[in-house]
Structure 1
Amino acid sequence: MNGGLYRSAHAAPDGEPQATEDGVTLISVDAQVVPGADAAQEQALPPESTGAVATGSGGGTAGQSAIMAVGSLVSRIIGFVRNALIGMALGTAVGNAYTTAQFLPGQIYELLLGGILSSVLVPLLVRRRKADPDGGEAFTQKLLTLAVVALGVATLLVVVIAPVITGIQVGGDNTEAYGDLVTRFAYLILPIIFFTGLSALIGAVLNVRGHFAAPMWAPILNNLVVIATCGLFIAIFSGDRITAESISPGAVLLIGAGTLLGMVVQALGLLPALRRVGFHWRWRWDPRSLGLREVGTLAGWMLCYVAANQVAVFVVVRILNRVAGEDSASVLAFNNVFLLTMMAHGIIGVSVMTALLPKMSAAAADGRYAEVSADLSRGIRLTAVALAPIAVVYGVLGAPIAVFLFQGGRFTNADALAAGTVLVVAAFAVLPLSISYLCTYAFYSLQGNKTAALINLPVVAVRIGAYFLLAAVLDRSLSAAGMTAANALSYLVSALISLAVLRRKIGRLNLGSVAVALVKVLVAAAVAAGAGLLVVRLMPGAGEPDGRGEAILQLLAGGSVILVVYLGVAALLRVREVSQVMGMVRRKVGR
């Protein structure tokens, strides 16, 4: 999500986060949760096929896709502006405290609703919309009423025990002032849980009724509010010394309340869209008629999946908070780098998966497992070919990217270079992340929610073990890079385990052709990386730019060389997927 740490991709029409990656800083260290096969197939129905759904829907599926694509791109750009301004306004120490506080609503929201929304509630809403005489309106009103009450009570309880939660999250390695600052931010930011849930629920109702534009664009309102808040903060407190010990109550109130206001505006911004699709929100308290036992049964494995991920989130935040007060990359840098990692996955991996999932689901439903296997192997090859140059750019140009995006104000050149080191490590996570997602999509096409959840348990165990191991052996200044490396390792383990299980379920996976393609891609990527490193080393700054001017020069020269060399070597090696990817890009640009 732009503007924040990562969260699973729930209730998103194209697999991307909805009131998440473009909204508040919400995270979930493994965002592999996606709608089940049934949900994906049912939601793929054209808006015009549902009568009133077409109203305000933007002119059908193609129009909606274009609107969502533009909205996603704009939202990502604005999200990076937001994150850059947060660093500029707060600096590293206070920025780490602020980011830590923003982890909390994401973790709690995921446990309350996030994992259940797309896998259980959205398919349920779709079925009732098709089966009920009133198009599922009464059922939806009752469900929203119960959800709003439950979210409100849960949010109130969490705010009351905020000091206990932040005390556990921060740990005992920080100063009392730092822990107190996280708690003060948490009091203001934790109410986001309610408005995040409200926004996601409204978005789900809109999606079920064929309206995707508003949920995609509403998070931009959130980012704009936070950007305005950061600008006001910089204007008012530019001359103040901002540290955990010296920050004033007014400064904490401004940035915390502004963050909360952004989520409030996002949720309220969705209400007009409800009226446009003809849904009327009435208060109906009748939880017994909702069939909650069925919902609970369906949600069990998803809750297991999400809970395991949140344990990993808790561990990584606690470890990174050990160095949050030091002059090194920590929570804030980890957040910013993860956004870049997810951006690459969102642009490439999600596009491939969105195209393949309906075909895989249909083939799996008919028992045509050879087609599922063929689609999966093709998806892996396409994803690898498209993501390899991006991974090379991150690995070779990590420092200039971080300087260009994040340096300024209280976020110094040294802070940006430290974040660049984390981005270099994240380059090795880009491809395993998307391949593990592809495998998870394959499981969901096979209706294998339970299998996906069980695979996730050893993956999270590996991730947490790597967190502790790397935290113990690495210098504290490399903690964020180490945690990123642990994530990359866990994605690789997830992909390997998933492929092994899928082979047992559906037979051969054409791994021979996949391996050949991956070897060719790795060779092209290695040559491109070497050429890029050579060019960057010969430029002013030699890979460690001192300011945006040098960073832009390195990005233009290094990025151009990497892309040209990669495409040239891939062509010489006859990587046929290159032409397919280029064709896909040309079609999107033309459209």
Structure 2
Amino acid sequence: MNLLKATGTIGGLTMVSRIAGFGREMLMSRVMGASWQADAFFVAFRLPNTFRRLFGEGAFSAGFVPLYSQRLQGEDGEAKAKRFSEEVLAVFVPTLIVFTLVFEIIMPLFVAAISGYSGDKLGLATFLTRITFPYLLLISLVSLFSGILNSLARFTAAAFAPALLNLAMLTALIFVPVGGTITATALSIAVTLGGVLQLGLLLYACKRAGVVLKLKRPKMTPGVRQFIRVVVPATLGAGVYQISAFIDTFFLARLGTGSLSYFNYADRLNQLPLGVIGAALGTAILPQVSKHVGANEPDKAAKVQGQAAELAMLLCLPAALALAVSALPLVSALFQGGRFTAEDARLTALTLSIVVLGLPAYVLVKVLTPGFYARQDTATPVKIAALVLVATVLLNFILIPPFGIAGLASAIAITSWLNCLLLYVILHRRGHFRIEGWLASRVFRQLLAGACMVAALYGIRTLLGSWFEGSVGHRLVGVTALVGGGMAVYFPAVWVFGGTDRDELKSLFRRRRPYTDVG
């Protein structure tokens, strides 16, 4: 399987979802503004998504994909892999149902503890979270079926599925644009309906791939016990990350009305390269690294990670630098208008310009962690995550009082780099992965190209300064000039400086043959 092709397939379809997400956020900012009802909805949206990342994505993939891939390789592999999937599904579903029911019962206490809200704001946040929380059950099942399809190198459906959530929420905003509590409720209902649509798509894709799972009585089979031994440490590690997300929510909710909204809109822009590049690379390389490790080919496994790191930095460095330099024009053009004021845009842009400085590190974490997961070592990332969590809490207490939301964004950026550094040092010491001379040289040359791009962006901002303060149309034209101008400088500079393999750079822009996999 070609890494660039797999990453391009996943990243391209993720881009479709992100574009729909931007449409959703642009409309939401104008309909909901940075009101207390918007903050209440973002609490209701963040909580099931935080648990989704705990159960459904990192931890589950870390345990399931390598074990499923290994069973596929042996004799009668497809039958063994299917049996393993059904055994895991039989235990996974009742666990998620019980977890969801428990939290529906204790929701008022839980939301109050996380948000610090009271009165009408607490009542609305609790009501909305009870509506959105079943999304956790649905999207966790989506992750199981996505893991199956990814192991079969069928990335299309899993990469496109998030777009259905964004389309559902867009529909709610279009048909219920009154704002306030009514629109917040419609959005919450759309979240759960989006989960239903995603699960339906993945079930259909698995059926097309010849994988139809039956729900059986839960049993602690050897395969399930092996899965639990691998996934529990990964869940604990993911739990540390999600505790960090809860801590961020805790501080944001106490920074005043609008802070959750500012962070959400900034994170939407930050998540574009993270989702398109980081998640795509992590998804694409885990089965490959697992296969090479299982075949006792450590050099090939390390080569896959090196190629992924080069591709990650090639695409992520310009994204991070451009977002940092162009934060205010971008935010103003995309979100300012209606109930979202110029001051709201300024604070959102400030948050974005700081948090994206940790973006390259966050993407590299997606490249490094498969080196542990492929060897069924989920304990080491847990320990690292725990250290990072402690650092995050300390930095929040140190930076937030004097700097407010900018301090929280700084803590996120700093600890992202700390996490990346610790993962790399341990992989290097174990001899699993190291930055070779060719990789260091190419990243340095990419930085030179990025510096040229930054200079060009400053020049464009100076020449078109008034455009970024004009009408929506003028602002959009200005942003288009920034994006186009940045790309027009960066990629030729990378070519001239030799920041990547020229054949690979050509393939990024070469017209591909249609990719027909619908699984």
* Structure 2: distance between partners of 1:492 and 1:175: 36
Indicate the residue corresponding to 1:337 in structure 2.
266
Residue identity matched to 1:420:
A
* Structure 1: distance between partners of 2:57 and 2:212: 24
What TM-score, normalized by structure 2, do the two folds share? 0.85
Deviation, 1:137, is 4.7
* Structure 1: distance between partners of 2:440 and 2:70: 41
SS of residue in 1 equivalent to 2:469: coil
Q: Kindly provide the CA deviation profile for residues 124-147 of structure 1, in whole angstroms up to 9, marking residues without a partner as x.
A: 445566657955555544543432
Indicate the residue corresponding to 1:305 in structure 2.
237
Is 1:83 aligned with 2:8? Answer: no
Indicate the residue corresponding to 2:123 in structure 1.
180
Indicate the residue corresponding to 2:100 in structure 1.
155
Is 1:390 aligned with 2:319? Answer: yes
Indicate the residue corresponding to 2:402 in structure 1.
473
CA contact (8 A) 1:389 1:566 kept: yes
* Structure 1: distance between partners of 2:475 and 2:24: 20
Indicate the residue corresponding to 2:89 in structure 1.
144
CA contact (8 A) 1:413 1:547 kept: no
User: Which of 370, 378, 382 pairs up with 1:449?
Assistant: 378
SS of residue in 1 equivalent to 2:176: helix
Is 1:410 aligned with 2:339? Answer: yes
SS of residue in 2 equivalent to 1:409: coil
* Structure 1: distance between partners of 2:289 and 2:147: 23
SS of residue in 2 equivalent to 1:225: helix
CA contact (8 A) 1:88 1:411 kept: yes
CA contact (8 A) 2:328 2:345 kept: yes
Q: Kindly provide the CA deviation profile for residues 102-133 of structure 1, in whole angstroms up to 9, marking residues without a partner as x.
A: 11112333444544421223444455666579
Deviation, 1:162, is 0.5
What TM-score, normalized by structure 1, do the two folds share? 0.76
CA contact (8 A) 2:88 2:224 kept: no
Is 1:199 aligned with 2:142? Answer: yes
The 1:492–1:106 alpha-carbon spacing in structure 2 relative to 1, beyond 3 Å, is same
SS of residue in 1 equivalent to 2:271: helix
User: Which of 550, 556, 559 pairs up with 2:480?
Assistant: 556
The range that moved more, 396-405 or 214-223, is: 214-223
Indicate the residue corresponding to 2:198 in structure 1.
266
CA contact (8 A) 1:196 1:267 kept: yes
CA contact (8 A) 1:385 1:577 kept: yes
The 1:132–1:359 alpha-carbon spacing in structure 2 relative to 1, beyond 3 Å, is closer
User: Which of 161, 164, 167 pairs up with 2:109?
Assistant: 164
* Structure 1: distance between partners of 2:281 and 2:159: 19
User: Which of 457, 463, 467 pairs up with 1:538?
Assistant: 463
* Structure 1: distance between partners of 2:504 and 2:45: 37
User: Which of 482, 505, 519 pairs up with 2:430?
Assistant: 505
Stretches of structure 2 lacking an aligned partner (at least 5 in a row): 515-519
CA contact (8 A) 1:229 1:254 kept: yes
* Structure 1: distance between partners of 2:82 and 2:457: 57
* Structure 1: distance between partners of 2:427 and 2:377: 10
Higher helix share: 2
* Structure 2: distance between partners of 1:66 and 1:450: 31
Indicate the residue corresponding to 2:388 in structure 1.
459
CA contact (8 A) 2:56 2:139 kept: no
The range that moved more, 258-267 or 517-526, is: 517-526
Q: Kindly provide the CA deviation profile for residues 382-407 of structure 1, in whole angstroms up to 9, marking residues without a partner as x.
A: 43333322222212211122223223
The range that moved more, 90-99 or 503-512, is: 503-512
Is 1:71 aligned with 2:71? Answer: no
Stretches of structure 1 lacking an aligned partner (at least 5 in a row): 1-43, 47-60
Is 1:293 aligned with 2:254? Answer: no
Give aligned-pair identity as a percent.
Answer: 23
What value does the CA root-mean-square deviation take over the aligned residues?
3.5
CA contact (8 A) 1:525 1:566 kept: yes
User: Which of 188, 201, 204 pairs up with 1:256?
Assistant: 188
Is 1:189 aligned with 2:132? Answer: yes
Is 1:322 aligned with 2:254? Answer: yes
**Equivalent residue runs for 1:202-213 within 5 Å:** 202-207=145-150, 211-213=154-156
Indicate the residue corresponding to 1:226 in structure 2.
169
Q: Kindly provide the CA deviation profile for residues 501-525 of structure 1, in whole angstroms up to 9, marking residues without a partner as x.
A: 2222118835655555444433432
SS of residue in 1 equivalent to 2:238: helix
Residue identity matched to 1:439:
L
Deviation, 1:456, is 2.2
* Structure 2: distance between partners of 1:182 and 1:461: 28
Residue identity matched to 1:298:
V
Q: Kindly provide the CA deviation profile for residues 308-327 of structure 1, in whole angstroms up to 9, marking residues without a partner as x.
A: 1111011100111112415x
Indicate the residue corresponding to 1:429 in structure 2.
358
* Structure 2: distance between partners of 1:463 and 1:181: 29
